[in-house]
């Protein structure tokens, strides 16, 4: 039996849900409340286009089968019309558009419709729409008014969208154009900068390789340096500076005159003239460009650096006067960089006179003197500190007596020879003419050799040195005269325009340094005026002793005046006889006016060395006064100042044997007390102080000084031992002692050194050692400031006591005089009463 054939199972589609009428749907209140509260969740459903949905729905509710067939036929007609439109359209190039592949495997390209076809199609569509309104109305259910309103809205929206798109496109195009323009400008600026930079390098290399052939390139480089870009200007200026430093010749260019230009010359001479004239004209324009750039703040330092470099490198070349005038005009500038550059350039001119033969030195010194005069001595101290770099030859100032004597002798010998042999004169005319020709030829050869060998002329050097010295001392004397003038003479208050200057006399300190250095070159005719100025300055600026005028000068400046006076006297010892007692009086008073933080210790040490250690034998009273004053000074100030004072004190004691009586313990200074029996510590004159009547009790305190070197020095002076330490300390000068201890003070450990000193000194029993060490260790912890404060309060108390004593004495005198006056009045009253009684008796 055959198997029964199995029938395939038919899978039926799922049944549709049962249709429920709207009337049967019941909505609860909770559902309504939920939908109202959560209306945001229904936004997507509310925005659904129901009309477009109904077009694609095959099953439409409440529509008969005939109406559905008509709807389907209408849709087929629309598809056919669309195919015709595509066929009648313009086919796009396959390269410009992507094709569409159907299921059949055919490729279709997008088409562009013609305007006529578009219009016809639009009319057909409107007609069809009109015909099929009845069908659509049944499906969409829209009225004519609604359709018109909908069309109007669509048109307005499309217009708005078109306008917005146009604006966005315009803004986007504008922003893109601006960005592109900026990028192009940046690129062009960078390209222009690189091209100009490359051009400057090429022109500079060509000039350095062959200056005569490529001299025209200088003008191109100068033209590039006139660019609007600051970086290009700086590069051009610096490139021209490097080129000029290399190609400027070693001689001064003289342009040909009109007659020389009319003469016929060779090609090489024409080429050289053109090269020199072009070089000189561009160099002049370059200097003018630098002077203009110096006035701009952004180019000031570059311009000053270029001018200073040119003046230092080629001081022999043309336009040296304008360069010097520019540099000296800025030598007292408030800008530190500019001032230092100018001062360094002038110093280099003074030290390297071989480049210019000394002519630039004379011009610079004269310009500085005029500059100081024009500014009334109110400049920065660096303006005349450059004079310290000048060097003078002492032999040039002395005339050559031997050569002149030889010339006179030769002339006398020739005259005698001619006189003694008159008979031979006519026979020797030819020989004489030959000799004259030979001498002329020798002189010409000597002159040419001298010019070629650059041998300096002694007479010319002597003239330039005398002019330089006269300008320098003219400046120094003008500063001294201006400093001596009292401030009350001018109604306006003088204010120093420079920082770091002392009061209203900023140039006084460098002036005194220069006078001390060149004191041996001062003319004797000006010596009396100089010493008079120095005395007035050392005393405070005026002979009247005005306190306001004294405050204008520091202690260091007044001490420097004393030092200069002694240097001038020693350099002209044979021809000068001046009483220097006034300077000793000023030094005696200035020792107590010295302040470590305010004044310079090196100047004080130099004054002690110059005036006390290196001077000749002193008067006994004066030497004892300085010994006592220096011992008092050593108690009040630091270790470096104390050491310099003790070295000077020991030198005075070694030189003046009678002053050693101050080391005696009895009052009155031992057996020799001098003409003044009482010691006057506040006397202004050392000869009237009566120091021989005192005792050096300060050495006992100084022997316990915290610094071991000071204590050792004080103990050696008081014991007058002849050990190794004493020999060494007697050899060194106060300056050396001051500088040694000032340098040592930076790394000096107070506690460790004092403990070592105490261990060395105190040897004995344990109780005595502990008793002696403990107070010293306590004093070690006290700082210098505290010691100074205590000593200052102590001395203030002493001064107050002295002042009180003086006031009490004045009060006693005035009361005594008042009593005498009262008694005198009483006596006159008694006499007045007795006289009329006598007259009555007579009557």
517-528 confidence digits (pLDDT tens): 888 888 887 888
- Residue 507 to residue 492: CA distance in whole angstroms: 20
pLDDT at position 358 is 84
Residue 490 has pLDDT above 80, yes or no: no
- Residue 465 to residue 600: CA distance in whole angstroms: 34
Residue 499 has pLDDT above 50, yes or no: no
Least confident residue range of 136-150, 269-283, 640-654: 136-150
835 sits in which H/E element: helix 784-842
- Cβ-contact 599, 590 below 8 angstroms: no
Of 106 and 544, the one with more pLDDT: 106
Structure tokens at 394: 């002492």
pLDDT at position 729 is 44
670: phi then psi, degrees, rounded to nearest 5:
80, -145
> Which tens digit of pLDDT belongs to each residue from 623-656?
888 999 999 999 888 888 999 999 999 988 888 8
> Which tens digit of pLDDT belongs to each residue from 701-730?
998 888 888 898 888 888 764 444 444 445
112 sits in which H/E element: strand 111-112
pLDDT at position 471 is 93
- CB-CB neighbours of 91 under 10 Å: 13
388: phi then psi, degrees, rounded to nearest 5:
-65, -20
With 0.75 as the threshold, say if the pTM is over it.
no
Of 533 and 417, the one with more pLDDT: 533
- Residue 598 to residue 71: CA distance in whole angstroms: 117
> Which tens digit of pLDDT belongs to each residue from 785-836?
777 788 888 888 888 888 888 888 888 889 888 888 888 888 888 877 665 5
Of 147 and 323, the one with more pLDDT: 323
Residue 2 has pLDDT above 50, yes or no: no
Radius of gyration from C-alpha coordinates of the chain: 56
pLDDT at position 327 is 93
pLDDT at position 432 is 74
Query: Residue 731: which pLDDT band, with cuts at 50, 70 and 90?
Result: low
Directed axis angle between helix 620-636 and helix 581-593, to 10°?
Answer: 20
pLDDT at position 182 is 67
pLDDT at position 764 is 44
String of DSSP letters for 689-710: S-GGGS--THHHHHTT-SSHHH
**Pick from 653, 590, 657, 663: which is nearest to 627 by CA?**
653
Length of the chain: 843
Of 531 and 749, the one with more pLDDT: 531
Residue 497 has pLDDT above 50, yes or no: no
Give the pLDDT mean for 400-414: 47
- Cβ-contact 311, 345 below 8 angstroms: yes
> Which tens digit of pLDDT belongs to each residue from 206-253?
988 888 888 888 999 999 888 888 888 999 999 999 999 999 998 888
- CB-CB neighbours of 282 under 10 Å: 20
Query: Residue 345: which pLDDT band, with cuts at 50, 70 and 90?
Result: very high
- Residue 583 to residue 539: CA distance in whole angstroms: 8
Give the pLDDT mean for 682-699: 85
Residue 315's contacts (CB-CB under 8 Å, 6 or more residues apart) are: 349, 355, 356, 360
Query: Residue 150: which pLDDT band, with cuts at 50, 70 and 90?
Result: confident
Query: What sign has the CA pseudo-torsion 433, 435, 440, 444?
Result: positive
> Which tens digit of pLDDT belongs to each residue from 542-554?
554 454 455 578 8
Least confident residue range of 58-67, 158-167, 401-410: 401-410
Query: Residue 475: which pLDDT band, with cuts at 50, 70 and 90?
Result: very high
**Pick from 377, 371, 376: which is nearest to 342 by CA?**
371
Residue 678 has pLDDT above 70, yes or no: yes
> Which tens digit of pLDDT belongs to each residue from 242-275?
999 999 998 888 888 888 888 888 888 888 999 9
> Which tens digit of pLDDT belongs to each residue from 735-776?
888 888 877 655 555 544 444 444 444 444 443 333 333 333
Give the pLDDT mean for 114-130: 46
- Residue 292 to residue 326: CA distance in whole angstroms: 12
pLDDT at position 408 is 46
Q: What is the 3-state secondary structure (H, E, C) of 753-791?
A: HHHHHHHHHCCCCHHHHHHHHHHHHHHHCCCHHHHHHHH
pLDDT at position 488 is 44
pLDDT at position 732 is 80
Residue 530 has pLDDT above 80, yes or no: yes
- CB-CB neighbours of 507 under 10 Å: 30
Least confident residue range of 75-89, 336-350, 464-478, 663-677: 663-677
pLDDT at position 129 is 46
Residue 340 has pLDDT above 80, yes or no: yes
> Which tens digit of pLDDT belongs to each residue from 423-459?
444 555 666 788 888 888 888 777 776 665 555 667 8
Beta strands 111-112 and 100-101: pairing type?
unpaired
> Which tens digit of pLDDT belongs to each residue from 356-398?
888 899 999 999 999 999 999 889 999 999 999 998 877 665 5
Residue 481 has pLDDT above 50, yes or no: yes
**Mean pLDDT over the full length of the chain:** 75
Residue 157 has pLDDT above 70, yes or no: yes
């Amino acid at each position: 039996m055959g198997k029964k054939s199995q029938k395939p199972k038919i899978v039926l589609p799922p049944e549709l849900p049962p249709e429920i009428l709207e009337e049967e749907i019941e909505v609860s209140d909770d559902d309504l409340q939920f939908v109202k509260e959560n209306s945001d969740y229904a936004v997507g459903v509310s925005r659904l286009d129901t009309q477009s949905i109904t077009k694609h729905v095959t099953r439409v509710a409440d529509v008969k089968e005939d109406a559905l067939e008509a709807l389907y036929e209408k849709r087929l007609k629309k598809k056919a019309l669309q195919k015709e439109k595509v066929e009648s359209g313009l086919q796009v190039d396959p390269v410009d558009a992507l094709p569409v592949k159907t299921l059949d495997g055919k490729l279709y390209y997008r088409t562009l419709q013609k305007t006529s076809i578009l219009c016809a199609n639009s009319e057909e569509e409107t007609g069809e729409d009109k015909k099929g309104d009845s069908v659509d109305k049944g499906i969409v259910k829209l009225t004519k008014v609604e359709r018109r309103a909908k069309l109007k809205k669509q048109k307005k929206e499309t217009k708005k969208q078109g306008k917005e798109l146009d604006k966005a496109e315009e803004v986007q195009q504008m922003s893109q154009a601006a960005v592109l323009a900026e990028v192009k400008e940046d690129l062009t600026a960078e390209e222009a900068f690189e091209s100009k930079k490359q051009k400057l390098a090429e022109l500079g290399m060509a000039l350095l390789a062959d200056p005569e052939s490529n001299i025209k390139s200088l003008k191109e480089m100068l033209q590039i340096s006139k660019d609007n870009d600051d970086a290009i200007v700086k590069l051009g200026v610096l490139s021209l500076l490097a080129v000029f430093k290399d190609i400027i010749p070693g001689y001064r260019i003289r342009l040909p005159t009109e007659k020389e230009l009319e003469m016929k010359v060779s090609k090489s001479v024409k080429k050289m003239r053109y090269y020199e004239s072009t070089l000189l004209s561009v160099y002049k324009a370059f200097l003018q460009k630098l002077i203009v750039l110096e006035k701009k703040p952004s180019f000031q330092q570059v311009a000053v650096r270029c001018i200073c470099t040119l003046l230092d490198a080629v001081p022999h070349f043309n336009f040296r006067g304008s360069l010097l005038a520019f540099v000296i005009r800025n030598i007292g500038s408030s800008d530190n960089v500019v001032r230092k550059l100018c001062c360094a350039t002038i110093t280099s001119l003074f030290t390297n006179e071989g480049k210019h033969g000394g002519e630039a030195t004379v011009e610079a010194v004269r310009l500085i003197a005029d500059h100081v005069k024009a500014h009334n001595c109110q400049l920065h101290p660096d303006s005349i500190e450059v004079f310290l770099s000048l060097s003078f030859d002492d032999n040039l100032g002395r005339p050559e007596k031997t050569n002149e004597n030889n010339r006179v002798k030769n002339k006398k010998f020739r005259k005698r020879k001619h006189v003694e042999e008159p008979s031979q004169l006519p026979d020797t005319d030819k020989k004489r003419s030959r000799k004259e020709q030979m001498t002329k030829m020798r002189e010409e050869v000597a002159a040419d050799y001298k010019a070629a060998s650059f041998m300096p002329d002694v007479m010319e050097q002597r003239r330039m040195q005398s002019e330089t010295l006269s300008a320098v001392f003219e400046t120094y004397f003008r500063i001294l005269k201006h400093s001596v003038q009292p401030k009350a003479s001018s109604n306006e208050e003088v204010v120093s325009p420079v920082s770091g200057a002392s009061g209203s006399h900023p140039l006084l300190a460098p002036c005194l340094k220069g006078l001390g250095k060149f004191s041996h070159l001062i003319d004797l005719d000006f010596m009396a005026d100089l010493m008079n100025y120095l005395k007035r300055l050392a005393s405070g600026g005026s002979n009247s002793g005005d306190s306001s005028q004294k405050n204008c000068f520091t202690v260091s400046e007044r001490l420097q005046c004393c030092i200069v006076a002694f240097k001038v006297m020693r350099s002209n010892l044979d021809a000068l006889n001046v009483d220097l007692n006034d300077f000793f009086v000023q030094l005696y008073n200035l020792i107590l006016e010295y302040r470590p933080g305010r004044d310079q210790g090196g100047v004080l040490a130099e004054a002690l060395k110059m005036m006390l250690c290196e001077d000749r034998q002193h008067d006994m009273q004066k030497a004892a006064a300085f010994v006592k004053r220096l011992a008092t000074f050593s108690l009040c100030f630091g270790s470096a100042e104390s050491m310099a004072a003790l070295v000077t004190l020991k030198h005075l004691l070694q030189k003046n044997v009678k002053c050693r009586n101050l080391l005696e313990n009895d009052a009155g200074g031992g057996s020799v007390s001098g003409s003044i029996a009482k010691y006057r510590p506040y006397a202004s004159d050392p000869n009237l102080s009566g120091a021989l009547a005192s005792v050096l009790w300060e050495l006992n305190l100084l022997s316990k000084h915290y610094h071991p070197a000071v204590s050792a020095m004080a103990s050696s002076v008081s014991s007058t031992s002849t050990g190794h330490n004493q020999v060494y300390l007697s050899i060194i000068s106060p300056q050396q002692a001051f500088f040694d201890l000032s340098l040592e003070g930076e790394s000096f450990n107070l506690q460790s050194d004092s403990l070592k000193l105490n261990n060395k000194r105190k040897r004995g029993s344990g109780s005595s050692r502990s008793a002696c060490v403990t107070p010293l260790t306590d004093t070690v912890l006290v700082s210098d400031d505290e010691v100074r404060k205590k000593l200052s309060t102590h001395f203030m108390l002493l001064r107050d006591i002295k002042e009180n004593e003086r006031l009490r004495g004045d009060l006693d005198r005035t009361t005594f005089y008042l009593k005498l006056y009262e008694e005198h009045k009483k006596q006159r009253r008694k006499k007045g009463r007795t006289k009329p009684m006598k007259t009555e008796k007579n009557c």
